[in-house]
Amino acid sequence: MHNYDSKNIDLSGKTILVTGAGDGIGRVAALHYAQAGATVILLGRTTRKLEAVYDEIMAAGGPEPAIVPLDMKGATKTHYQGLNATIIEQFGKLDGLLNNASLLGVLSPFETIDSDSWNDLMQVNVTAQFLLTQALMPALKKAPHASIIFTSSGVGRRGRAFWGPYAVSKFATEGLAQVMADEYEDSSIRVNVINPGATRTSMRARAYPGEDPMRLKTASELMPLYLYLMSDASIEVNGESLDAQ
Ligand code: NDP
Residues with CB under 6 A from ligand 1: 20, 22-26, 44-46, 49, 71-73, 100-103, 124, 151, 153, 196, 198-199, 201-204
pLDDT for the residue numbered 3: 63
Predicted pLDDT of residue 170: 98
pLDDT at 4: 75
pLDDT value, residue 6? 72
Residue of 203, 215, 243 to mutate, ligand 1, most atoms within 8 A of C-beta = 203
Residue ranges of domains in the chain: 15-243
What ipTM was assigned to the predicted interfaces of this complex?
0.99
| Domain 15-243, CATH among 1.10.10.10, 1.10.357.10, 3.40.50.720, 3.30.70.1290 | 3.40.50.720
Question: In what helix (H) or strand (E) does residue 118 lie, and over which residues does it extend?
Answer: helix 115-122
CA pair distance 89, 72, nearest whole angstrom: 22
Ligand 1, atom 34, residue with closest C-alpha: 102
196's enclosing H/E stretch is none
Which of 104-115 are b and which e, b meaning 16 or more Cβ less than 10 Å from the residue's Cβ? bbebeeeeebee
Q: Which residues of the chain, if any, have pLDDT below 50?
A: 1
Measure Cα distances from 183 to 177, 178, 189, 240 in Å: 10, 9, 10, 14
pLDDT at 1: 45
